[in-house]
Structure 1
Amino acid sequence: MSDLLWQKPGVKVDARIQKFLAGEDVILDREFFVFDIEASRAHAQGLQQIGILAADELAGLERELSLLADDFNAGRFVLDDQYEDGHSAIEARLVERLGDAGKKIHTGRSRNDQILVATRLWLKDRLSRLLATCRESAQVALARAEAEQAVPLPGYTHLQRAVVSSLGMWWAAWAEGFVDDAQRAADTLAWVDANPLGSAAGYGVNLPLARDHTTQALGFGRMQVSAAYAQLSRGKFEMAAIEALTSALLDLRRLAWDLSLFTSAEFGFVALPSQYTTGSSIMPNKRNPDVIELMRASYSAAAAARTEIEQLLSLPSGYHRDLQFSKGAIFHAFGRGLDALELLPDLLRNLEWKTDRMREALDPSMYATDLAVDMAREGLPFREAYRLAADPARWAEGDPDASLRARVSPGASGELRLDALKERLARLPE
């Protein structure tokens, strides 16, 4: 390992203790590294504005930071255990290439605000991806709701046949769910979009740091003003981002459950695209819906990550090393969660319905609710109509198309109001 940034003369470094302290940090920092580099560039520009760096020193730092990013992306620079973490790797590279100019880069900042700004930049990127994926999923669901709105589909409660429903209702439900998820991602993104760089270790520094410049240069919507709150907010904004992710993953989990049931031979309502299924290692006849099963399971990683971070936050104000463990949690949550969600739009586009099987699954009992409401509309008290409609002798083979057309309460099959969902979708930020 290279010399530690904090090492002082006469301080012995125990290799076992240092291994424990570093943990997986340098490996995890690969996720943040390009964002840390960009924040270092903005910080250097700010230092030049307040006279800490000369113009030629800034030019050299910007050049070397760009080369470092290129080398990292191309695999020519490897962030490994010769460094304590990504922050020390950047500084070591700049000192190696530029000497004293590289030694100046850390003026006015701490590894505390370095990790805060890199985390927020990384989360902004992931929340943008989440927003885009939820928007696309909603768009696909809305298009299919419009195209297939009158196709009958059995509606279930308690996994028992309940009433006649439609593909329009099924698709509209997921469309509105993913519109909500996209809105939540957008709201969380706006909340996370605050620049902590320049808060140093949580108490500021005796320099007029150009925080307005770094805010603009890094594309933040605003500055996180209080240096002390910058530290207090750590963990809080990571949990908020994971909660936005889990909102979408909850919808994905329930949608995947529907598809798991509907693809079974007992239902037989859906055929999945072949690339979303796998074979059995022993049973030649099997095609298994493994992708949707893993989609269904992906919520667990995000839920566990949120709990892990929440358990770290029983802390007083100021920075504490406990928070190092929050990095792995967010990487695992968004890695697993976005991998699952980003497969969803194409699955929704390409799944095929077996409409004959869906119609065959409709039975006379599923029109009983329509019958009760029809009698109530004619003036019979509903509870009496309910009692009469419960008699199987009154059930007859119904017309599913007429049932769907007659369901005109707002949001039901005869009054889907897809335009209202389209309008909400159109108002989402890009």
Structure 2
Amino acid sequence: MNTPKALWSGRFSKAPDEMMKRFGESISVDWCFYKEDIEGSKAHGKMLYKIGILTKEELEQILRVLEEIEEEIESGEFVPDIELEDVHMNIESRLIKKLGDLGAKIHTGRSRNDQVVTDYRLYLKKEITAIEKLLNNFMEALLTRAEKDVDITLPGFTHLMHAQPISLGHYWMAYFWKFERDLKRLKAALESSDVSPLGAGALAGSTLPLDREYTRELLGFGEISKNSLDTVSDRDFIMDLQYALSTLFIHTSGLSEDLIIWNTQEFNYIKLPDEFCTGSSMMPNKKNPDALELIRGKTGGVVTGLFNLMMNLKGLPLTYNRDLQEDKKFVLENLATAKAVLEILPLLIDKIEVQEANIQKHLEKGFLLATDVAEYLVLKGVPFRKTHEIVGAIVQYAEAKDLDFKNLSMEEWKQFSGVFEEDILEILTVEKAVERRESQGGTAKKQVLIQIKEGREIIEKA
């Protein structure tokens, strides 16, 4: 069997060692760019015709054969060859095999250095757009859940300790706003990717009269890159995406952690749907929150991808270095993971069963209304720091006697401050405590409904 010759072999007297071929190949990673590579070659060919390098007949032949190659790839007839290193060399070699010297014209005025980032940017534009759509669907599921649960009260936590009562709708909206920021970061990453590198060449541009604006227009990029040295070395657009995915996963991990805790027998605030849990091979009683645990577990890999890329880029001299071949593996894995997670979460969130009776039992613990009592005293003219001390002493007293605020007599209240009157009893319900928190962005139903309305407007505009 004849080993295909590398398209850059003219400079070398010896072929690469087999070990080097295996070590240096990227086809196992970048073959997914085949559509973008063909799309870029079509645009480049049309531009070469526009500037007189190709005739109309030559262009038509090249475009026809590029379409044939795409069909062969999708049918499985064309299998990439590791000997040809990457997606670019495989497709170009196939073109040359079919068209001879005419196929060899397609790389005129082009380097793999600008070709690969053209492919990459085109690919990421499509992937980011798909993830944005999935994230929008998930955010809509959170809005629906917030509307459904706006009247359910549960303990809010700091340090995983009971803090103040909140609306469950307010909780869902907290994550809506986190994911709304993630959506903005994804949009910024999309904008960062929307720059045409084609025509930058290996590093210094070209002596040929390339029409970069024309290829930009054909490929649908928003603008062309400004500096050829920067163009072929720039991987900021990938870092922008990796950062956006990292924060997205930090948020999905935090949400997963809460739901895992709430699903435990100790909390029992919610029941997770069977469809997203699994059992134990030994213990027949188990229903494990595997989907949420996997989301939490995959977060480390996503964040690692960001650090991997940053360390890869640190200290690289201008312009292209082979280190940059390592800029794809983690990104492609993270994109696939993000899509899978964002497909699962809306379904899981929708099917959660809230255990209101168990939540109610927890609302009676932990002195959730301590801040309300302190603010009651503030409204009576007592300085806040003094009220803080008074209420802290009341909590200590009640804990020692295994009592709650509701169980204290008026005489006991007055032991701590003569300011207390019978109206203190009016504030000692968690539902009223929630409704009193009407400050902008607060947990009162009125404020949560305002948030939901704003959220709906954001989704409709997306």
What TM-score, normalized to structure 1? 0.94
Letter in 2 for 1:14: P
1:307-361 CA-partner distances (Å, limit 9, x unpaired): 1111121111111111111121222222233322332222222222111111111
Distance 1:71 1:248, change over 3 A: same
SS in 1 for 2:243: helix
Letter in 1 for 2:284: P
Deviation of the 1:427 alpha carbon: 4.1
1:161 aligns with 2:191: no
Q: Hey, what's the Cα distance between the residues in 2 that align with 1:77 and 1:409?
A: 64
Letter in 2 for 1:36: D
Q: Hey, what's the Cα distance between the residues in 1 that align with 2:347 and 2:67?
A: 36
Q: Hey, what's the Cα distance between the residues in 2 that align with 1:377 and 1:80?
A: 78
Q: Hey, what's the Cα distance between the residues in 2 that align with 1:291 and 1:301?
A: 16
Please list, as runs of the form range in 1=range in 2, the aligned pairs for 1:22-61 lying within 5 A after superposition. 22-23=24-25, 25-61=26-62
Please list, as runs of the form range in 1=range in 2, the aligned pairs for 1:202-281 lying within 5 A after superposition. 202-233=203-234, 235-281=235-281
Please list, as runs of the form range in 1=range in 2, the aligned pairs for 1:80-229 lying within 5 A after superposition. 80-229=81-230
Alignment match, 2:301: 301
How many residues are matched? 426
What is the root-mean-square deviation in Å for CA atoms of aligned residues? 1.8
Larger radius of gyration: 2
Moved more, 76-85 or 291-300: 76-85
> Retained in 1: the 8 A contact 2:153–2:167?
yes
Moved more, 29-38 or 69-78: 69-78
Deviation of the 1:169 alpha carbon: 1.1
**Could you tell me which of 371, 388, 410 is aligned with 2:440?**
410
Q: Hey, what's the Cα distance between the residues in 1 that align with 2:100 and 2:205?
A: 26
1:7 aligns with 2:9: yes
> Retained in 2: the 8 A contact 1:278–1:287?
yes
Q: Hey, what's the Cα distance between the residues in 1 that align with 2:11 and 2:349?
A: 62
Distance 1:257 1:9, change over 3 A: closer
> Retained in 2: the 8 A contact 1:154–1:361?
yes
> Retained in 2: the 8 A contact 1:108–1:207?
yes
Q: Hey, what's the Cα distance between the residues in 1 that align with 2:300 and 2:338?
A: 9
SS in 1 for 2:242: helix
SS in 2 for 1:342: helix
> Retained in 2: the 8 A contact 1:150–1:404?
no
Distance 1:21 1:165, change over 3 A: same
Q: Hey, what's the Cα distance between the residues in 1 that align with 2:7 and 2:101?
A: 15
SS in 1 for 2:184: helix
Q: Hey, what's the Cα distance between the residues in 1 that align with 2:353 and 2:70?
A: 44
SS in 2 for 1:104: helix
Q: Hey, what's the Cα distance between the residues in 2 that align with 1:32 and 1:239?
A: 19
SS in 1 for 2:15: coil
> Retained in 2: the 8 A contact 1:33–1:86?
yes
Please list, as runs of the form range in 1=range in 2, the aligned pairs for 1:289-328 lying within 5 A after superposition. 289-313=289-313, 314-328=315-329
> Retained in 1: the 8 A contact 2:43–2:218?
yes
1:250-308 CA-partner distances (Å, limit 9, x unpaired): 11010010111111111111122212111111111111111111111222112111111
Alignment match, 1:383: 385
Deviation of the 1:423 alpha carbon: 3.4
Letter in 2 for 1:22: G
Q: Hey, what's the Cα distance between the residues in 1 that align with 2:224 and 2:283?
A: 59
SS in 2 for 1:279: coil
1:345-395 CA-partner distances (Å, limit 9, x unpaired): 222222221111111111251111111112212322112222222213471
Alignment match, 2:406: 396
Moved more, 248-257 or 383-392: 383-392
SS in 2 for 1:165: strand
Q: Hey, what's the Cα distance between the residues in 2 that align with 1:356 and 1:411?
A: 27
Moved more, 331-340 or 364-373: 331-340
Moved more, 36-45 or 400-409: 400-409
Q: Hey, what's the Cα distance between the residues in 1 that align with 2:266 and 2:75?
A: 51
> Retained in 2: the 8 A contact 1:242–1:334?
no
Deviation of the 1:82 alpha carbon: 4.1
Deviation of the 1:9 alpha carbon: 6.5
> Retained in 2: the 8 A contact 1:270–1:354?
yes
1:423 aligns with 2:453: no
Distance 1:378 1:212, change over 3 A: same
SS in 2 for 1:267: coil
Q: Hey, what's the Cα distance between the residues in 2 that align with 1:340 and 1:54?
A: 49
Letter in 2 for 1:184: R
SS in 1 for 2:202: coil
1:153-173 CA-partner distances (Å, limit 9, x unpaired): 111111111111121111110
Moved more, 242-251 or 67-76: 67-76
Q: Hey, what's the Cα distance between the residues in 1 that align with 2:349 and 2:42?
A: 42
Determine what percentage of the aligned residue pairs are the same residue. 33
**Could you tell me which of 360, 366, 369 is aligned with 2:368?**
366
Q: Hey, what's the Cα distance between the residues in 2 that align with 1:224 and 1:132?
A: 27
> Retained in 1: the 8 A contact 2:131–2:338?
no
Moved more, 384-393 or 399-408: 384-393
> Retained in 1: the 8 A contact 2:44–2:215?
yes
Q: Hey, what's the Cα distance between the residues in 2 that align with 1:75 and 1:288?
A: 40
Query: Which structure 1 residue ranges, 5 or more long, are not aligned?
Result: none
Deviation of the 1:31 alpha carbon: 1.8
Q: Hey, what's the Cα distance between the residues in 2 that align with 1:134 and 1:33?
A: 26
Moved more, 407-416 or 103-112: 407-416
Q: Hey, what's the Cα distance between the residues in 2 that align with 1:197 and 1:177?
A: 36
Deviation of the 1:408 alpha carbon: 0.9
SS in 2 for 1:161: strand
1:214-254 CA-partner distances (Å, limit 9, x unpaired): 11111111111221110231x22211110111121111010
Q: Hey, what's the Cα distance between the residues in 2 that align with 1:265 and 1:355?
A: 14
> Retained in 1: the 8 A contact 2:125–2:190?
yes
Q: Hey, what's the Cα distance between the residues in 1 that align with 2:151 and 2:442?
A: 11
Letter in 2 for 1:295: I
Q: Hey, what's the Cα distance between the residues in 1 that align with 2:147 and 2:337?
A: 31
